Structure 1
Amino acid sequence: MDKSKNYKVVILETSDVHGAIFPIDYSDNTRKEVGLSKIATLVKEEREKKEDLILIDNGDMLQGTPLIYHYANIDNKGINPLIKVMNIMNYDAAVIGNHEFNYGKDFLNNAVGDSKFPWLSSNIIDKDTRRPYFGRPYIIKELENGIKVGIIGSTTKYIPNWEDSNNIKGLDFLDVIFPLKTFVSYLKNVEKVDVLIVSYHGGYERNIKNDEVISETGENQAYEICENIPEIDVLLTGHQHVFINKKMINGVLTVSPGYQGKALVKVEITLENSSGSWKVVDKDSKLLDTEQVKEDENILNQVKDYEKATQKWLDTPIGRVEGDMFINNHLETRLKDNAFVEFINKVQMKYAKVDISATSLFDNKAKGFNDGITMRNVVSNYIYPNTLKVIRIKGEDIKEALERSAAYFQKGVKDNTYSKDNNIDSKYKNMKIQPYNYDMWEGIDYKLDLSKPLGERVVLLNYKNAKLDMDKEYDVVMNNYRAGGGGDYDMFKDKPVIREINIDMSELIADYIIKKNVIKAEFDGNWEVIYPKDYFDD
């Protein structure tokens, strides 16, 4: 073997693909620039440049689209379509993500068994044997010139806080640091690997722009990993659905490819032969955007039967409405309690097991439900892949959140979104210009008066027929985005998380409808917005 030249190791990473194969928006079948079929085209191009590249998926592959929902819950004959595609693409390894457990251990075990590549996680262990449950904490790839690349998989330890206990029975989720230190030492000192990669399904506990701490729950530990184990050459991350390129932490190169196959991470590690051994002399990375990339038709053809069955199912009624749950006017829907919004809140309260809920009408395309409800109706009304969180907040936080929502409306503007205009009080000037930041609540009685100044529009706020106690704590369910303070709902930031339902809300809605078969269009009139007669005149 010729060991006189430099050699470049190439690593490609996907993460948080969430079941996306086809470049499609399932709510209306319009094109969407996502999916493994587009990633496959990029991988082919990269293999032509570097035959022995290493392709790794960093987790959250097996959940997230109607295609995989249909396979998991409706018709699971044959190999999992995502595994079929990954096998064709010749993945070298995949890491277990938190969403891999959503459909249960049998579903996951079958997927692992059908894979032509190993699934890695060094910190998910069998409670009885105390060994890695999926068998392989790491792999070693030997490349040209005898170069050895060690790849260790790790998974966020926070999964028990989200997942149904039945889906993770018999498993322990260890803090990632000790297992990583153990296997890093073994690979470096015993196996003598030349390059050490950690693929961690987790994210960053600090702001990557200024390194300030943003979370200390242990859900994300990228900084802690890099600071405690500087022997790692590259840390592949995910989970947070962010696009990160060339972030150096304590000498460790860290990256993240976003979500749904919108980008592919390419890492290039240059080694130089010195005194008969290889040394890493340079590390670089790129984010390869898939927006202008054509999908691989062979990939689509391999799973076309799954897609055909899914499309047929999407348009098959899963239940029906008794009464009227159709949205004719989006402004009116946001001004007074109505059957559709109440239904969404009731679904949230059922699965979260609380009696106060907040939700939004995400855009002005939502139509509610007609007599017959299809799965496509569900995903076109609930357009975001949100999960649910129950947070513990005070009455004063609820009041502040209602005032935040009340700022949605401006005099003379019909169905307005949040504004940055000068007539908005400075307290509200940085609000996002999106309709999904207007919340409607169930479980409390309230009234907003638009004739009042901003910050003083809540004129009625009761809970169980009594005035809401501003100092008392209440458990409230809302989507994960809002629970984290998204949309400038700062009053929710860093509040205690009592419970997380780590299943997409669209799936919860569908499950609820399927089990009920008939849902009644009803509402209790617990809230309304009052306003002067000419308030919405142009």
Structure 2
Amino acid sequence: MNADAVSVSLRVLETSDLHMFVYDYDYYNARQDNSVGLAKVATLIAQARREVPNSVLFDNGDIIQGNPLGDYMALPGHLNGRDGHPMFRAMNRLGYDGATLGNHEFNYGLDFLHNAMKTASFPFVCANVTLPGGGTLLPPTMVIERKVTDTEGRPHTLRIGLIGLVTPQIMVWDRAHLQGKVQAGDIVGTARTLVPALRKSCDLLIALCHSGIAGGAPVAGAENAALQLATVPGIDVILTGHAHRVFPGPDYAGIDGADVVRGRLGGVPAVMPGFWGSHLGVVDLSLRRDGAGRWSVEDAQVEARPIYRREGRQAIPLVVDDRAILDAARPEHEATLRWMDQPVGRTTVPINTFLSVIGNDAALSLINQAQLWYAAPLVAGTPYAHLPLLSAASPFKAGGSGPDSFVDIPAGPMDMKDIANLYMFANTVCVVKLNGAELRDWLERSVNLFAQVDPTQDAPQPLLAPQPATYLFDTIAGLRYEVDLTQPARFDRDGKLCAATAHRITALSHDGRPVQPEDEFLVVTNNYRAAGGGGFAGTGGDHVVLNAPDLARDVLIRFVTQAHSVSPTPEPIWHFKPFPKPVSLVFNGNAETANHLDGRGDIRRLGDGEGGFVRYALTVA
């Protein structure tokens, strides 16, 4: 062994996709939520730091948007220079060493982002968001120096290189805020350009990559490129996120190059710590400096530490809150609670999303009614006024984030938190123009939510494809159609055509007439979808005919307030095409789902499922 060699243990800690969850609180249902919150992660951070002599802490983006506290701060006059932003005040108390931007950082516009970031006492890096005239929105890379002690207790200075990368789809999802102001480049291509120089000036190189994990070869402009980023020589650690999943762990089993046990992407140590503060990412590095002064990673241990565990439907906390973190955001948290309690109107019927994946429901009907009410007078008098006006809506909360992730508004008074629960994203209203062929493919993209069904099987089969994204499951009011689940999905998870001869959408009609490929329509939707979010046919800038200034959530508030009382009833927009014989299809709900079956004989409860869900079976005949 070289007498000049030095060994150092360094713990790299990561948070990602906090989405404004400082508190362990469910603003939509006004109750404690033990599965979320920076206040609980802070306790994990303190524990993790005490266990080792050397550690650094980073955040991987999606910080300032995602719950009503974030929306409250984005209201005019609520972010001021005196108090700053509560999330960054809380993060400052934890002593972050650096961060990058997530795609949701741009939801409120660049001015708000810059003003919010003024509160942060730690640096940000972001390499692939550039300015039209040259330069970058933020420093693309940086080197920070940290004092560390080796295994003999001797001090050393370690130069840690950081590169920040965000999914380039920000230019689609927040086009209204970003067009003409910034550009977003490819994650892997940007890293290949910048990493070599950064590598020469640092001892350890960490990529803060706000992007998920997907298999396959690198594709320019890919949304989920963390695995492909590992092919760039010189990167020692990848901190990833965006997908709201956990790595290492079974979420990414079966992807070539993703070691879901050891936490490696293409051999590079990597971690993804869930979402909303559910986990803390931990990467323990064994570093060695040779006699020539060169540092290398000899080994790494990777884990995602949870703040809670599940016992049936209960989320049992594994740590207590850090009171200092709660105190940092307390004034704005309490103001948000008052804001959420403001009355809006009444509903004469329950509004929920327990059954959104098996047919249209009152929740989507209310959204569609409000969107059509708002858009119709804006379209009147335009060159497009003669075209049929349709409305697209998807269930944002239909179990995708756990058994409590459903809308459940009882009949009676409605307040702000009910509307926020129903429409949780800060999207504006848009109208797109498209033809019948595009409209059909829009729906085909939507129904890739479902698994393919074998009608000859007697055993129950899953209704949904793995890792379903219900916010991409659009139903379009004004149409009638069937969904043939014996067909494979025509489009894949990224919206790319994968089965050209497959057609799940059948019997598509408007006003009792079959939709023809050349027919023209207008569809009211949100800015995310209109700009191309999700890869739907008939969307993108050339299809947009109206960019309205109002948030869809505000439209809902105005619609309910003006009506005083609403009675949304499910429209018969779509149904599953019958099978030759009855087939049982299994889907997830929770215990409350059973209270909203209204005596439906085609649905039965099967029993408890994984992760606190309750399994139900729908019989389609």
On whether the aligned pair clears a TM of 0.5, the verdict is yes
2:203 to 189, 194, 208: 194
Change (3 A) 1:404 1:263: closer
Is residue 2:515 matched to residue 1:468? yes
Change (3 A) 1:6 1:329: closer
Per-residue deviation, 1:295: 1.3
State how far apart, in whole Å, the 2-side matches of 1:310 and 1:263 are. Answer: 25
State how far apart, in whole Å, the 1-side matches of 2:445 and 2:138 are. Answer: 44
SS at 2:230's partner residue?
A: helix
Is residue 2:66 matched to residue 1:64? yes
Deviates more, 1:295-304 or 1:173-182: 173-182
Change (3 A) 1:112 1:136: farther
1:113 to 112, 115, 118: 118
Deviates more, 1:242-251 or 1:393-402: 393-402
Instruction: Indicate conservation of the 8 Å contact 1:139/1:152, yes or no.
Output: no
Name the amino acid aligned to 1:111: A
Residue in 2 that maps onto 1:367: 409
Instruction: Indicate conservation of the 8 Å contact 1:17/1:60, yes or no.
Output: yes
When the two chains are superposed, the root-mean-square deviation of aligned CA atoms in Å is 4.9
Per-residue deviation, 1:426: 6.9
Name the amino acid aligned to 1:527: P
Residue in 1 that maps onto 2:25: 24
User: Map of 1:258-269 to 2, 5 A cutoff?
Assistant: 258-269=274-285
Residue in 2 that maps onto 1:412: none
Per-residue deviation, 1:336: 9.7
1:239 to 237, 242, 247: 242
Per-residue deviation, 1:432: 4.0
Which sections of structure 2, spanning at least 5 residues, go unmatched?
Answer: 149-155, 249-261, 309-317, 380-388, 400-405, 488-503, 545-549, 579-598, 605-621
Per-residue deviation, 1:220: 2.2
Change (3 A) 1:508 1:214: farther
State how far apart, in whole Å, the 2-side matches of 1:117 and 1:382 are. Answer: 32
Residue in 2 that maps onto 1:486: none
Instruction: Indicate conservation of the 8 Å contact 1:357/1:441, yes or no.
Output: yes
Residue in 1 that maps onto 2:555: 512
Instruction: Indicate conservation of the 8 Å contact 1:445/1:460, yes or no.
Output: no
Change (3 A) 1:474 1:84: same
Deviates more, 1:14-23 or 1:349-358: 349-358
Could you list the per-position Cα deviations for residues 131-166 of structure 1 after superposition, in whole angstroms to 9, with x for gaps in the alignment? Answer: 122235323223331222211111122211110433
State how far apart, in whole Å, the 1-side matches of 2:106 and 2:168 are. Answer: 13
Change (3 A) 1:512 1:429: same
Residue in 2 that maps onto 1:487: none
Instruction: Indicate conservation of the 8 Å contact 1:27/1:383, yes or no.
Output: no
Could you list the per-position Cα deviations for residues 30-59 of structure 1 after superposition, in whole angstroms to 9, with x for gaps in the alignment? Answer: 222211101111111122233541110000
Deviates more, 1:24-33 or 1:511-520: 511-520
1:285 to 287, 302, 310: 302
Instruction: Indicate conservation of the 8 Å contact 2:4/2:291, yes or no.
Output: no
Residue in 2 that maps onto 1:413: none
Instruction: Indicate conservation of the 8 Å contact 2:445/2:536, yes or no.
Output: no
Residue in 1 that maps onto 2:392: 357
Instruction: Indicate conservation of the 8 Å contact 2:479/2:510, yes or no.
Output: yes
State how far apart, in whole Å, the 1-side matches of 2:571 and 2:106 are. Answer: 37
Instruction: Indicate conservation of the 8 Å contact 1:272/1:281, yes or no.
Output: yes
Per-residue deviation, 1:454: 9.4
1:320 to 337, 342, 345: 345
Is residue 2:186 matched to residue 1:175? yes
Change (3 A) 1:320 1:286: same
State how far apart, in whole Å, the 2-side matches of 1:290 and 1:510 are. Answer: 31
Instruction: Indicate conservation of the 8 Å contact 1:271/1:279, yes or no.
Output: yes
Residue in 2 that maps onto 1:218: 222
State how far apart, in whole Å, the 2-side matches of 1:399 and 1:156 are. Answer: 25
SS at 2:364's partner residue?
A: helix
State how far apart, in whole Å, the 2-side matches of 1:342 and 1:108 are. Answer: 34
State how far apart, in whole Å, the 2-side matches of 1:76 and 1:326 are. Answer: 37
SS at 1:148's partner residue?
A: strand
1:205 to 208, 214, 219: 214
For normalisation by structure 2, the TM-score amounts to: 0.66
Instruction: Indicate conservation of the 8 Å contact 2:478/2:573, yes or no.
Output: no
Instruction: Indicate conservation of the 8 Å contact 2:244/2:274, yes or no.
Output: yes
SS at 2:122's partner residue?
A: coil
Instruction: Indicate conservation of the 8 Å contact 2:7/2:286, yes or no.
Output: yes
Change (3 A) 1:426 1:102: farther
Is residue 2:461 matched to residue 1:429? yes
Is residue 2:320 matched to residue 1:294? yes
Instruction: Indicate conservation of the 8 Å contact 2:426/2:553, yes or no.
Output: no
Is residue 2:163 matched to residue 1:152? yes
Name the amino acid aligned to 1:158: Q
Is residue 2:359 matched to residue 1:307? no
Could you list the per-position Cα deviations for residues 428-456 of structure 1 after superposition, in whole angstroms to 9, with x for gaps in the alignment? Answer: 8221499x79989443343889xx9999x
State how far apart, in whole Å, the 2-side matches of 1:80 and 1:125 are. Answer: 25
1:345 to 368, 372, 396: 368
Instruction: Indicate conservation of the 8 Å contact 1:27/1:377, yes or no.
Output: yes
Name the amino acid aligned to 2:408: A
Per-residue deviation, 1:351: 8.6
Per-residue deviation, 1:168: 5.7
Residue in 1 that maps onto 2:233: 230
Name the amino acid aligned to 2:207: V
State how far apart, in whole Å, the 2-side matches of 1:402 and 1:259 are. Answer: 24
Change (3 A) 1:146 1:68: same
Name the amino acid aligned to 1:94: A
State how far apart, in whole Å, the 2-side matches of 1:482 and 1:110 are. Answer: 27
Instruction: Indicate conservation of the 8 Å contact 2:362/2:568, yes or no.
Output: yes
Which sections of structure 1, spanning at least 5 residues, go unmatched?
Answer: 207-211, 408-417, 484-491, 502-506
Change (3 A) 1:515 1:182: same
Change (3 A) 1:112 1:55: same
Change (3 A) 1:214 1:517: farther
Could you list the per-position Cα deviations for residues 490-520 of structure 1 after superposition, in whole angstroms to 9, with x for gaps in the alignment? Answer: xx9975472499xxxxx94432235557344
Identity %: 25
